[in-house]
Amino acid sequence: MAVIGIVILWSMLPAKSKMPEDLTIDVNKQYFATVKMENGGEFVIQLFPDKAPITVDNFVKLARSGYYDGTTFHRVIDGFMAQGGDPTGTGMGGPGYEFQDEFSDLTFDKAGILAMANSGPNTNGSQFFITFAPTPHLTGLHTIFGQVIEGMDVVNSITRRDPDTATTPGDAIENITITEQ
């Protein structure tokens, strides 16, 4: 009887929808994201639409809509990475849809790699992370879709934070500006 109750409760949970498949980016162009932090400083990320077109398209759409404005880096682990993109600041939020992983020849071989945070295969949404160091154990588990090309000192200065024990919000993103060439 308990199993039936669990199944019924699980079936009542809201389903995550799939992200629309139509791309709004041009995979033959170069895209850059300038992330301006509320506490000062900014950094620039080169996006890789040729390697992860669905992921870059999703990030560009969310950034251009203002989705990331005011969100925080809610999980920041020294020597590992800074994770952001969750409107709730808890690590549990997202845009209400999920989309598939996109793996390529890119690897987590250096600091400044931009990748999607996920809760398992094909569960990408809005959360992303930037590495502080090489993290080769993540290759093949998280979609890489960019690289910090300017302002790594700003990334490195993001306040370290564990969302489970933190008493203050993480460092906030003022806005993300997307440019294309």
Would you name the residues annotated as active-site residues?
Answer: 75, 80, 83, 118, 129, 138, 142
Name which of 91, 57, 79 is nearest 160 in CA terms.
79
Tell me the one-letter amino acid at 58: N
Q: How far apart are CA 40 and CA 146, in angstroms?
A: 22
Instruction: Please report the sign of the dihedral spanned by the C-alpha atoms of residue 46, residue 49, residue 52, residue 53.
Output: positive
At 67, list the tokens.
Answer: 């989705």
145, 114 contact by CB (below 8 A): yes
Q: How far apart are CA 127 and CA 113, in angstroms?
A: 14
Cβ neighbours of residue 1 closer than 8 Å, sequence gap 6 or more = none
Tell me 86's DSSP state.
B
